[in-house]
Structure 1
Amino acid sequence: QLQNQRLQEQEHSVHDSVELHLRVPLEKEIPVTITQETEKKGHKLIESEDEFPEITEEMEKEIKNVFRNGNQDEVLSEAFRLTITRKDIQTLNHLNWLNDEIINFYMNMLMERSKEKGLPSVHAFNTFFFTKLKTAGYQAVKRWTKKVDVFSVDILLVPIHLGVHWCLAVVDFRKKNITYYDSMGGINNEACRILLQYLKQESIDKKRKEFDTNGWQLFSKKSQEIPQQMNGSDCGMFACKYADCITKDRPINFTQQHMPYFRKRMVWEILHRKL
């Protein structure tokens, strides 16, 4: 039922996106292309030690211990001005849905990792950003980047929550594109348009100059181009792992079968505040 509900919502989303495109043009005509990006062929699913490091017995014990009964309000990890309680960690157990706290913490760990040499620089918006931007407009979020220059990084990560489904949008300033990733195959060009419009408004507000959209492209990944979830529970994990691969400039080479491993791994990473 949940899966059907999500698919129905996505069908409405696609319809709404088309309707929006027909009746509400952007403030100015901008030279962007909406298209479907085709992945380069030849990427093989290789399970290397680097991509899927071993979870040792000691790590297993630590992970199991966290899932045992205890005070649900006990703080198990603190960083990035965020706190993770036992109740939050429980969302990583079995087939539970990830909550905002877990996703925000993970996105912050991706930002922290991006400071390492050789990796693209990253800024991640929190899980409430896109919903606020879409429903209340730019004025409602313009202060969220008071201390951040979004144009100074290589990649912007934007978690998107569609009621009962997590997706991810990625702005890549190096490639001049905005790409939407949905583990249930949804197409959401509207989200990409909203984010491009955000960049235009942010540039005028913070830089006092027009954002050059020439050459920018908007993509929604097709279901056959990226790994898809095979249940109604792992959308949050897929969104996080898409972001993980993208911020390492690596091909997205996992599948549904890796999710139990990733859930355990993420527990350990959050407890130790490091990827």
Structure 2
Amino acid sequence: STHFFTKLLLGRNAGEKDTEIHRELRSCFDPATWSHYQRVVIPVNVTFDKKAAEGTHWSMIVVDLEALTIRLYDSMNLTPALWLSVMEAFVQHEWDARGWSRELWKKNYVGNEQIPMQQDSCSCGIFVCAMADSLGAGRDLNSFFQDDIDEIRCAMDKLLRRMYFVKD
């Protein structure tokens, strides 16, 4: 959930020890997450107001557990690259807590040549969902564009309505 990354950032900004932050945030993940999955997708809500905890722009961090890579996907290139290091510290702590060998994580800010870029100021959440869906389905991230967003938004609306409002 977005709560995870917001809490991770706020804890670090408040000067809490990493171990305190990690202990609390560990509950956000199923214990099998780090050993049974190929990727972990973390939604990120960016704030541009230094006084606010959450903001108005969505991006995502993907931890690729097989490639030992942490990637930041942002359809407007607004999320600070420093946040890759914040996520790396958390993942490394999880590795250490399990007694796994200390690995060197690669970090990659996925730029505008590699992902579709939004042309408006209100579709970032749809872009994040569509990128996560593309990654999960093994599709090229450039399989959709700004012109497709209204159709994707409608498809998401239908999917969510079916999931939550259809009575058996």
Give the TM bin, normalised by the shorter chain: 0.7 to 0.9
Q: 1:255 to 1:186 in 2, by over 3 A?
A: same
**1:159–1:167 Cα contact (<8 Å) kept:** yes
Q: Deviations over 1:185-225 (max 9, x none)?
A: 235332211111111212333x2x145323x3100011232
Aligned pairs for 1:112-151 within 5 A:
126-136=1-11, 137-145=21-29, 147-151=30-34
Counterpart of 2:66? 174
AA of the residue aligned to 2:150: P
TM superposition shift of 1:130: 0.3
DSSP-derived class of the 1:159 partner: strand
Map Cα deviations across residues 158-198 of structure 1 (whole Å, 9 max, x no partner): 00001110001101112221110111023533221111111
- In structure 1, the residue matched to 2:56 is 164
Q: Which segments of 5 or more consecutive residues in structure 1 lack a partner in the other structure?
A: 1-125
Q: Counterpart in 1 of 2:153?
A: 263
CA change 1:194–1:262 in 2 (3 A) is: same
Count of aligned pairs: 145
Aligned counterpart, 1:204: 96
Contact 2:96 2:102 in 1 (8 A): no
**How big is each residue's C-alpha offset from its partner over 1:26-51, in whole Å with a ceiling of 9 and x where there is no partner?**
xxxxxxxxxxxxxxxxxxxxxxxxxx
Structure 2 match to 1:227: 116
Q: What is the identity, as a one-letter code, of the residue corresponding to 1:134?
A: L
Amino acid at match of 1:188: P
Specify the alignment match of 1:185 in structure 2: 77
1:149 counterpart letter in structure 2? A
Take 2:129 and 2:87, find their aligned partners in 1: how far apart are those partners? Answer: 19
Gap runs ≥5 in structure 2: 12-20, 47-54
**Alignment partner of 1:153 out of 26, 30, 37:** 37
What RMSD, in angstroms, separates the aligned Cα atoms of the two structures?
Answer: 1.8
Q: Which residue of structure 1 aligns with residue 135 of structure 2?
A: 246
Structure 1 residues 70-85: aligned runs within 5 Å: none
Q: Which position in structure 2 is the counterpart of 1:121?
A: none
Identity %: 23
Contact 1:227/1:254 (<8 A) preserved: yes
- Does the aligned pair in 2 maintain the 1:169–1:181 contact within 8 Å? yes
Contact 2:70–2:106 (CA under 8 A) maintained in structure 1: yes
Higher relative contact order structure (alpha carbons within 8 Å, sequence separation ≥ 6)? 1
- The verdict on how the C-alpha distance between 1:134 and 1:210 changes in structure 2, with shifts beyond 3 A counting, is farther
In structure 2, C-alpha distance between the alignment counterparts of 1:248 and 1:211, rounded to whole Å: 30
Per the TM alignment, residue 235 of structure 1 is displaced from its structure 2 partner at its CA by 0.4
